Amino acid sequence: MAHPQHFGWFLSRGFGPHGWGHPYYDWNHPWHRPELYQQSIRTLEQAGFDLVIIEDALSLGNADTLDLRIRSAYGGPKHDPLLLAPYLFDVTEHIGIAPTVNPLAYSPYQAARQFATLQHLSDHRFGINVVTDVGSSRHFGVPPLDHDGAYDRAEEWLGAVQRLWHSWGPDALVQDATTGHFADGSKLDAFQHRGEHFSFDGPLNALPFADPGSEGGHGGDPIVVSPGGSPRGLGFAGANSQVQLALASLDVSTIRDYRAKVHTAALAHGRSPADIDVLFVFKPIVVSSPEEAQRLVDASAHPDDATLLQIAAGQSSDLETDLTGLDLDRPVDPAIFGDHVSRGTIKGLLGGFDSFADASLRELLTAKARLGRITDRSGYVGTADEIADFIEELGAEADNDGFIFSGDLHPVTIHRMLDELVPILRRRGILRTAYGAGGLRANLQDF
């Protein structure tokens, strides 16, 4: 029997020009105004989604790749998603918002104060998608760190933020109007933090959260979301996160194995697997019939050069390396990728190939262009019923916690993906039909 799963939406473009590069941009929604996002998030709440995660990047990249990053709006511009969150909370009641935050950009004290304020204002619907970044240090006057070093900094940062959130003892807030005694300063933790990356003094001057809840008294805190499948990333999630993001696989055993790794990491840090939901990011293409699905798949097998160059532009932005001027029929020389380029992003370009010597650039890009049918688990093209079958299978066979849909937060994108799918998932008992109470953490713990 199908069981409920959790669903969310990932703004893969961040707070940027949603709709750019698609005909629906001509709906003339100003992307830098809140109304577009408010309209869209109301639809997601009506659909029963638990949360929205807003992607972000702090940098446009190196000076010699700026045009590459903004030419097609793949890498920018991006406005600050933290400042968009209050506008989204204002028009919703249940859905959670988790902007991407980077320890590079916020001192622990500033972060703790701002995030506590948003948690209060949203009635416990705020979360943070914590990312590490090794390439934006120059904007903040700090030395660059390697991959694991950036996680070490994030670990120290998050621990410091959480200690500030709890620097008011449980009896510190008195609020006795008869005596005029508002709070008891002796119950505040005026600690001093002197760490490897941060130095500051407590306590925080923002109020504590009303509900200490579970998880060692941290149940009222904003939830923590994290991506990252490296050993260090899994360790961070196991210690800290309530939601771990991963790219969806089409294979049940791969999903099951990945979830087991996350659960093992949670147990290693004294937590229960029930404390963390693993949500897989995917971007289905919903079509009207099996015949239409097959037509799209067949057409994708032989992309023209214009299509390949469009894909190359997107890959170039991610890699901060221009692929668009390279010979399509020659292998890529890996020496073109500088030290600033993520090894994971390079591996993503390779796809199923073992090395760059094994394929021409045309073959690499053709593999990116190729679509597959959800029915044979070769891709994500299918009817709403077929995609629901896949979602239900992963719930039944891999005990999957749920999915994060990915795409522009634009009404056209949302309706294309969800109009037919939501009713089917609800009829099967997979998607919630009502919310409980208690905010984002409660959404994730409802089932």
Domain boundaries, the chain: 6-289+380-445, 302-369
Give tens-digit pLDDT for 2-16.
899 999 999 999 999
Span of 136-140, 233-237, 339-343 with lowest mean pLDDT: 339-343
Coil, strand, or helix at residue 175?
A: strand
**139 contact partners, CB below 8 Å, separation of at least 6:** 58, 59, 104
Q: 101 - beta bridge partners?
A: 130
- Output the pTM of the full model: 0.94
For residue 215, what pLDDT is reported? 62
The pLDDT of residue 212 is above 60 = no
Looking at domain 6-289+380-445, what is its CATH homologous superfamily? Luciferase-like domain (3.20.20.30)
The pLDDT of residue 214 is above 80 = no
Cα–Cα distances (Å) from 240 to 3, 146, 225, 266, 418, in that order, read 26, 21, 9, 8, 31
The pLDDT of residue 243 is above 70 = yes
For residue 430, what pLDDT is reported? 98
The arithmetic mean of pLDDT across residues 93-110, rounded, is 97
Confidence class of residue 338 from pLDDT cuts 50, 70 and 90? confident
Give tens-digit pLDDT for 22-59.
999 999 999 999 999 999 999 999 999 999 999 999 99
Give tens-digit pLDDT for 376-429.
999 999 999 999 999 999 999 999 999 999 999 999 999 999 999 999 999 999
Cα(366)–Cα(305) distance, integer angstroms: 10
For residue 300, what pLDDT is reported? 96
Identify the H or E element spanning 343.
helix 343-350
Confidence class of residue 218 from pLDDT cuts 50, 70 and 90? confident
Quote the mean pLDDT of the chain: 94
Strands (E), 321-438: 381-382, 402-407
For residue 433, what pLDDT is reported? 96
For residue 280, what pLDDT is reported? 97
Give tens-digit pLDDT for 344-375.
789 889 988 999 999 999 999 999 999 999 99
Give tens-digit pLDDT for 293-334.
999 999 999 999 999 998 998 898 888 888 999 999 999 999
Judge whether 326 and 365 are in contact, CB under 8 Å: no
For residue 65, what pLDDT is reported? 78
For residue 228, what pLDDT is reported? 87
For residue 352, what pLDDT is reported? 86
Confidence class of residue 71 from pLDDT cuts 50, 70 and 90? confident
Confidence class of residue 216 from pLDDT cuts 50, 70 and 90? low
